[in-house]
Chain A
Amino acid sequence: MDLYIYVTLVVLGYFVGKSREASHYRSIQEREGKFASLPTVATKKPLPQEGELVDMKLVSGCTVISIDYYKRLIAGLRNIFGGNISSYETLVDRARRESVLRMKEQCPDASQIINLRIETSSVFKNSGKGSVGSIEVIAYGTAVIFQ
């Protein structure tokens, strides 16, 4: 009986997870296009720009994304054989890009975002022991506004 439940969860994880991932990527790409002209850099000083610096503030964006049973199964198998855990790559990629986007959305008037930092942590560490793990990514930086 346990096997049927488990297989159902894995199949569900595959189809639902895949469709949600695809729609999330569509949304990320669309919003990234919108903010493409906003310079976002890791330098501590603003890029040279005309006009007077009128305001600057801390902006941050945070995302938590959960894995599903299908991703967990692949990762579990990879734990035995080693190699690239491709199922987690999309997870981390989505979380990182979503966080940066949320950070940018916090200050739509910004001329630049400088001093960008990205940090990550896992929210459920014991993903192997029954519970499903998830990843948190926080992106923060300084939004500067020129007149």
Chain B
Amino acid sequence: MKYSGKLPKTNVNVTESSQVKEITTLLVGLFLIIFTVYYILGLGIDFAVEKLTPDQERSLSTKIGKELLGMPRDKEISSFLQKFVERIQNKCINLPFKVKVFAVKNKGVNAIALPGGTIMVFSGLLERVRSENELTFILGHELGHFKNRDHLRGMGRAILLMIISSMLLGGDGGVDGILNPFLVFSESNHSREQESQADANALDLAQCYYGHVGGATDFFEGMLKEEEPSVFGHFLASHPAYSQRIIDIKNLINKFAYKQKAVFKLDKNLKLS
């Protein structure tokens, strides 16, 4: 036998296929599956949230909100805010529990509604508030979340999101890198709707408390001057852009023909800036 050194004409060890087509099919399939699972389980959470009693809510909050509840608080401002919210709650909003308010020493411009009827207001936000009406609108916004039970929906969905992204996609070679931002986008889109609804609740509440809605957009206008993320950067934000919120609130004011009168000055206890 003589050795013949011929090279094979084709490479049988490599599949001839379009990789772009392959990756597109796989990604579309994955998105469809994940969003179907997320949507169905999300509906399940919405259903379960309606059935939860205030007691169950409270026990959930102590388990989950530990870190937030453990942040350093400002006692004086907390007790002032507590009285203020009690006045609002008694006069204008019917909730199955008494809301607790804490002022938290934190530079973040934020207020959070936690399950169990707790509102955390960050000192960074209080520093930027210039009138009592602004504060009422912010607290009204959080009370609106309680009314719509968004705090529970939000938490349920956040947990769901975590479970899907870590269990289904964890450690599989970078798929989570491309998928996570889109899951977060879907989540933040959902929460943006909730935020707009809470803004509408806050407006109703301000109208009920003061008889007018003066100063409703002041806080957002102040924030707009300070920082407006680019359209690109806003893609994944959980709240609507400030400019959009201002437009929405003004539309609602026109729709319900709410009056706007002079705002009340902020109590001197609250003047942080």
Taking the complex as formed, is A108 at the interface, i.e. its CB lies under 8 A from any CB of chain B? no
Give the size of the chain B interface in residues (CB under 8 angstroms). 29
The A contact surface, by secondary structure, is helix
Q: Is the CB of B174 within 8 A of A69?
A: yes
Contacts of B26 in A (CB 8 A): 74, 77-78, 81
B-facing mask of A72-85, CB < 8 A → 1, else 0?
A: 11111111110010
Give chain B interface residues in 93-146, CB to chain A under 8 Å.
none
Stretch in contact with the other chain, from B15-23, B53-61, B192-200, B219-227:
B15-23
Q: Is the CB of A73 within 8 A of B178?
A: yes
* A102–chain B nearest beta-carbon distance, Å: 17
Stretch in contact with the other chain, from A32-40, A56-64, A115-123, A138-146:
A32-40
Q: Is the CB of A89 within 8 A of B5?
A: no
Contacts of A75 in B (CB 8 A): 173
Residue of B nearest to A25 (CB): B11
Taking the complex as formed, is A10 at the interface, i.e. its CB lies under 8 A from any CB of chain B? yes
* A65–chain B nearest beta-carbon distance, Å: 14
Q: Is the CB of B23 within 8 A of A79?
A: no
State which of A69, A74, A80, A127 has its C-beta within 8 Å of the C-beta of B22.
A74
Q: Is the CB of B7 within 8 A of A72?
A: no
A87 to B18 alpha-carbon distance, docked (Å): 10
Q: Is the CB of A36 within 8 A of B30?
A: no
* A21–chain B nearest beta-carbon distance, Å: 10
Taking the complex as formed, is B171 at the interface, i.e. its CB lies under 8 A from any CB of chain A? yes
Contacts of A37 in B (CB 8 A): 3, 5
Give chain B interface residues in 174-212, CB to chain A under 8 Å.
174-175, 177-178, 180-181
Q: Is the CB of A36 within 8 A of B6?
A: yes
* A68–chain B nearest beta-carbon distance, Å: 11
A80 to B6 alpha-carbon distance, docked (Å): 40
Contacts of B254 in A (CB 8 A): none
Contacts of A84 in B (CB 8 A): 15
Contacts of A70 in B (CB 8 A): 19, 23
State which of B3, B11, B173, B174 has its C-beta within 8 Å of the C-beta of A93.
B11
Taking the complex as formed, is B29 at the interface, i.e. its CB lies under 8 A from any CB of chain A? yes
* A131–chain B nearest beta-carbon distance, Å: 11
Q: Is the CB of B174 within 8 A of A76?
A: yes
* B188–chain A nearest beta-carbon distance, Å: 13
Give chain A interface residues in 1-24, CB to chain B under 8 Å.
2-3, 6-7, 10, 14
Q: Is the CB of B19 within 8 A of A74?
A: yes
A76 and B3 in contact (CB under 8 A), knowing A2-B181, A93-B11? no
Taking the complex as formed, is B43 at the interface, i.e. its CB lies under 8 A from any CB of chain A? no
Contacts of B273 in A (CB 8 A): none
Taking the complex as formed, is B27 at the interface, i.e. its CB lies under 8 A from any CB of chain A? yes
A109 to B55 alpha-carbon distance, docked (Å): 86
* A125–chain B nearest beta-carbon distance, Å: 12
- Chain A contacts to B: CB under 8 angstroms: 2-3, 6-7, 10, 14, 29, 32-33, 36-39, 47, 69-70, 72-81, 84, 86-87, 89-90, 92-93, 127-129
Please, could you name 15 A-B residue pairs with CB atoms under 8 Å apart, sorted by A? A32-B7, A36-B7, A72-B173, A73-B174, A74-B26, A76-B172, A77-B30, A80-B30, A80-B169, A86-B14, A87-B19, A93-B13, A128-B171, A128-B174, A129-B171
8 further contact pairs, Cβ within 8 A, besides A6-B174, A80-B168, A127-B173: A2-B180, A3-B180, A14-B20, A32-B7, A36-B5, A73-B178, A76-B175, A79-B173
